[in-house]
Chain A
Amino acid sequence: MDKYLWLIPALPLGGFLILALAGKQLSRSSVAIVGAGSICLSALVTFVVGGAFLAGMPANAVYTQTLWTWFEVGAFSAKITLSLDVLSLLFIFVITFIGALIHIYSTAFMEADRDYARFFASMNLFVFSMLVLVLADNLLLMYLGWEGVGLCSYLLIGFWYEQQANGNAARKAFTVTRIGDAAMAIGLFMVFQQAGTLVMSDIGANASTIWQPNSTVVTVTALLLLAGGLGKSAQLPLQTWLPDAMAGPSPVSALIHAATMVTAGVYLVARMHAIFALSETARLVIAVIGAATLLLAGLTALTQYDIKRVLAYSTISQIGYMFLALGVGAWTAAIFHFMVHAFFKALLFLAAGTIIESLHHEHNMFKMGGLKDKMPVVFWTFLAGALSLAAVPLISAGFYSKDQILWYSWTANGGSPVLWMVALSGALITAAYTTRMMILTFWGEAHTPVGHLPGRRITMPLIVLAVFSIFAGFVELPHNFGHFTLFSDLLHPVLPETVMRAEIPSEWLFQLLAALATLGGVFLGYHYYYQQPARLESLRRNAMLASLHRFWFLGWGFDALYDRLLVKPFIFISKINKSDVTDRLYTGIAAATGEMYKLLSRTQSGSLRWYIMGLVVGAILILGIQIML
């Protein structure tokens, strides 16, 4: 079965090529069939190959398929090799399955758009790049996919390019992630210099012999690689692009900025866990960044009024959880949360998109309301997603994954009580803003009339994702529930066990506290937004709280900070160099040639006597040289 591995990325690539080259000529339904069909077929192949893989686990738990050699320079040869192990299987399952659902949704969502073919071409290219990213067996090929997803993110955020703001958002996303990518490239150079190879399995196997544990070299390498992940996953300090990226269509937000691209950082860290395991500093940095991000983004989400921005900050926050888990060494917990998050976040974004469409592009939650009865399917599916996001105990998948992370944030060898406190507060805040979002959107009186209701192609994916949001958590029950560890057993060949501390407090206590945090958050949201909204007014009048609210609303001032620190000096320097000094060197050569031409062309005066003079003088000179030599 492994010889069909190449089909999984090749089908979306084929879809992209067809749509990019001939998209304008095809009819809408053909574009839809090619665009969505390629991903659906890819998902099908994934199921078949994955099923065969899991059923008959090969020797070292990995399928490889070398397609061709990209290039060879000296002793280094870069091959296009796809390798499938459980980690990548999980990722491609998420990518193709959720991707297929989102593509089917988009065939109806983008129906009225003029650039139908371009949309699907970009989406297919994105899925291709993401698949290459996770199926790559060497870091160079992964970097190819990395850059590809960055490009497609730019193309899709700025899809409606005729509005300036969308183009600005796309550029911002590209530039900020580029910073991370540049750091990651340097990290790759360092890895190659130390290890002599870029094949990930070789690096992982030999990591302890190549690098000294906790040496500067391995820490720097790990931090550089991490920087790439921070950029793509929108963590501190490179998180400013994700909220603005909501300028793109909702399916784009669902696919790229919820389920797949932003988790590329998580994939990178999990894949190169051998390097990160060698550096305590790097792991601490990851955990601290994860914790700080989740708190920061959570508080910001609490203040936003645009429903998509709430979801964007929520994504940043949830990925913070994943990074926290990676930092403390809870590798499988992070991947578990990734999988569950992909389902419910994609669902939430798709549902939000439907709501916005039906309410004639109304993004402001405060102007929504009363949709519970008007759009029932959307309401129930959104509810399922929201339950998972808030990690409501026992009934949602989110509970199981988030609870695991909370557990490990104290008990793992890299964890600490501080991290646990932060994560717990984050859980409370998450539940609070989720409830706020639900209440403002679906309850209360309807401030905006509902337009047309969504059709089958939109509601079917929502329902499927809702089912997964609830039931996907049951693959991994906590230790004290029955020790059903299907998920971590699956990942066992790839990711190591979490190293625990010596003394572990009782797991029941932690679960109780986590449940209490969630329910407390739900209650807070319910109280302030449903029961007694008047109390909100009195809070608003408090000057200090109002300025705090404003500070959180602006994303903790990061945009302003970067503007002052980076953007303004850059513009200043560009203004100084407006005439482009370095270009003068080249235009100077051209100008000098022009001057020489003018000078020399004067010697061609057309006067015969002038030429004869020249001949005579020349003869004199030559004879003079003859005499001298």
Chain B
Amino acid sequence: MKTTVSAEVVVLLAGLLFALGIVGVIIRKNIIFMLLSVEIMLNASGLAFVAAGSRWGQPDGQVMFVFILAMAAAEVSIGLALILQIYHQHKSLDIDNLKEMNG
């Protein structure tokens, strides 16, 4: 199948998804939703990498994507463990409760 794809459109799509992820991180107060939005952002950057690799016909883009995947997995596991502890200690998932490291 000979499709023609314009590189900018894909990258722009990735950017748009990234921006949406940022909105999600800023808006939400619930830690789980913030982590979710971070996943959106990671995914969007993965899309950008794969698009770049595809543009030049090299596997490097996908390699980067694999690494991003590994990193996301690690981050999510630790993040969720932390969320569990936070819930256990503060009995709430509001991020504004975690303001003690100030001044």
A/B contact in complex, CB under 8 angstroms: yes
Interfacial residues of chain A within 574-615, with CB under 8 A of chain B in the complex: 601, 604-609, 612-613
List residues of B (73-100) whose CB comes within 8 Å of A's CBs. 95-96, 98-100
Q: Is B102 an interface residue (CB 8 A)?
A: yes
C-alpha gap A601/B103 in the complex (Å): 5
- Name the residue on A nearest B26 (C-beta): A612
Contact A604 B95, beta carbon cutoff 8 Å: no
Q: Are A607 and B26 interface neighbours, CB within 8 A?
A: no
B25 interface hit (Cβ, 8 Å): yes
B22 contacts the other chain (CB 8 A)? yes
The answer to the question of A509 belonging to the interface, with a C-beta cut-off of 8 Å to chain B, is: no
Contact of A609 among B95, B101, B103 (CB under 8 A): B95
- A625 close to chain B: CB less than 8 A: no
Q: Which residue of A lies closest to B34 (CB)?
A: A608
Query: CB of A616 within 8 A of chain B?
Result: yes
Tell me the minimal C-beta distance from A93 to chain B in angstroms. 75
Across-interface contacts of B101 in A (CB, < 8 A): 604, 606
Inside 8 A of B95's CB, which chain A residues have their CB?
A: 607-609
B61: shortest Cβ distance to chain A, in Å? 22
Whether A606 contacts B99 by the Cβ 8 Å rule is yes
If A606-B98, A608-B95, A609-B95 are given as contacts, then 18 extra A-B residue pairs at C-beta distance below 8 Å, sorted by A number, are: A601-B103, A604-B101, A604-B102, A605-B99, A605-B102, A606-B99, A606-B100, A606-B101, A606-B102, A607-B96, A607-B99, A608-B34, A608-B98, A609-B26, A609-B29, A612-B25, A612-B26, A613-B26
The 10 closest A-B pairs by CB, nearest first: A606-B102, A606-B99, A606-B101, A607-B99, A605-B102, A608-B95, A612-B25, A601-B103, A612-B26, A604-B102
* 5 pairs from A and B in contact (CB 8 Å cutoff): A605-B102, A607-B99, A609-B95, A613-B26, A616-B26
In the complex, A612 Cα to B21 Cα: how many Å?
12
CB closest residue in chain B, given A616: B22
Q: Which residues of A contact B98 (CB under 8 A)?
A: 606, 608
In the bound complex, residues from chain B placing their C-beta under 8 Å from that of A613 are 26
Residues of B within 8 A of A (CB): 22, 25-26, 29, 34, 95-96, 98-103
Q: Please give, as numbers and ranges, the residues of chain B lying within 8 Å of A606 by CB-CB distance.
A: 98-103
Report which of B29, B96, B103 forms a contact with A604, defined as CB distance below 8 A.
B103
Distance in Å: Cβ of B8 to nearest Cβ of chain A: 16
The answer for the CA separation of A608 and B95 in the assembled complex, in Å, is 7
By beta carbon, the residue of chain A nearest B37 is A612
The answer for the CA separation of A604 and B100 in the assembled complex, in Å, is: 10
CB-defined contacts of A605 to chain B, threshold 8 Å = 99, 102
Residues of chain B within 8 A (CB-CB) of A616 are 22, 26
Q: Which residues of chain A are within 8 angstroms of B102 by Cβ–Cβ distance?
A: 604-607
**Docked CA distance A423–B98 (Å):** 95
A609 to B101, CA, bound (A): 13
CA distance A613 to B99 in the complex (A): 15
A-B contact count (CB 8 A): 28
In the complex, what's the smallest C-beta–C-beta distance from B95 to chain A, in angstroms?
5
A609 / chain B contacts, CB cutoff of 8 Å: 26, 29, 95-96
- Chain A residues near B34 (CB, 8 Å)? 608
By size class, the interface of chain A is: 10 to 19
A598 to B, closest residue via Cβ: B103
B29 to chain A: closest residue by CB: A609
Docked complex Cα distance between A573 and B98 (Å) = 57
A607: chain B residues within 8 A (beta carbon) = 95-96, 99, 102
CB-defined contacts of B96 to chain A, threshold 8 Å:
607, 609
Please name all residues of chain A whose beta carbon is closer than 8 Å to the beta carbon of B26 when the two chains form the complex: 609, 612-613, 616
Closest to B25 in A: A612
Rounded to whole angstroms, the CA-CA distance of A616 and B98 in the bound complex is: 21
Give the chain B neighbours of A612 by CB distance below 8 A.
25-26
Give the residue name and chain of the A residue nearest to B102 (CB). Answer: A606
Contacts of A604 in B (CB 8 A): 101-103
Minimum CB–CB distance for B37 against chain A, Å: 10
A607 to B103, CA, bound (A): 11
How many Å lie between the Cα of A605 and that of B29 in the bound state?
A: 16
Q: How long is the Cα–Cα vector from A609 to B33 in the complex, in angstroms?
A: 13
Q: How far is the CA of A609 from the CA of B30 in the complex (A)?
A: 11
- CB-based nearest A residue for B95: A608
Nearest CB in chain A to that of B19: its residue: A616
B100 contact set on A, CB distance < 8 A:
606
Chain A residues, CB < 8 A from B25: 612
Min CB gap A600→B, angstroms = 11
B5 to chain A, nearest CB (A): 25
For the complex, what is the distance from the CA of A616 to the CA of B22, rounded to whole Å? 8
Q: Which residues of A contact B22 (CB under 8 A)?
A: 616
CA of A501 to CA of B101, assembled, Å: 96
Nearest CB of chain B from residue A582's CB, rounded to whole Å:
34
Q: How far is the CB of B40 from chain A (nearest CB, A)?
A: 14
Please give the distance in Å from B14's CB to the nearest CB on chain A. 15
CB distance from B82 to the nearest CB of A (A): 12
Complex interface: chain A residues within 8 A of B99 (CB): 605-607
CB contacts (< 8 Å) of B103 on chain A: these are 601, 604, 606
How far in angstroms is the closest Cβ of chain A from B39? 15
Q: In the bound complex, how far is the Cα of B22 from the Cα of A606, in angstroms?
A: 19
Give the distance to chain A from B13, nearest Cβ to Cβ, in Å.
18
Q: How far is the CB of A170 from chain B (nearest CB, A)?
A: 53
In Å, the complex CA distance between A601 and B101 comes to: 11
The CA of A604 and the CA of B102, in the complex, are separated in Å by: 5
State in angstroms the CA–CA spacing of A256 and B29 once bound together. 86
- Chain B: CB-nearest residue to A619: B22
Residue of B nearest to A603 (CB): B102
Residue numbers in B under 8 Å from A608 (CB-CB): 34, 95, 98
Residue of A nearest to B96 (CB): A607
Q: Which residues of B contact A601 (CB under 8 A)?
A: 103
Closest to B98 in A: A608
- A606 vs B97: C-alpha distance in the bound complex, in angstroms? 10
Q: In the assembled complex, how far is the CB of residue A485 from the closest CB belonging to chain B, in whole angstroms?
A: 89
CA A608 – CA B25 in complex, angstroms? 10
Q: How far is the CB of B3 from chain A (nearest CB, A)?
A: 31
Q: In the complex, what distance in Å separates the CA atom of A344 from the CA atom of B19?
A: 103
How close is A326's CB to chain B, nearest CB, in angstroms?
Answer: 74
Whole-angstrom distance between the Cβ of B18 and the nearest chain A Cβ:
10
Q: How far is the CA of A609 from the CA of B29 in the complex (A)?
A: 8
CA distance A605 to B100 in the complex (A): 8
User: Interface code A370-404, partner B: CB below 8 Å = 1, 0 otherwise?
Assistant: 00000000000000000000000000000000000
Closest residue of B by beta carbon distance from A610? B99
Cβ distance A318 to chain B, nearest Cβ, rounded Å: 75
Bound together, the chains give a CA A607 to CA B99 distance in angstroms of: 5
What sequence of 0s and 1s flags, for each residue 542-569 of chain A, a beta carbon within 8 Å of any chain B beta carbon?
A: 0000000000000000000000000000
Nearest B-chain residue to A607, judged by Cβ: B99
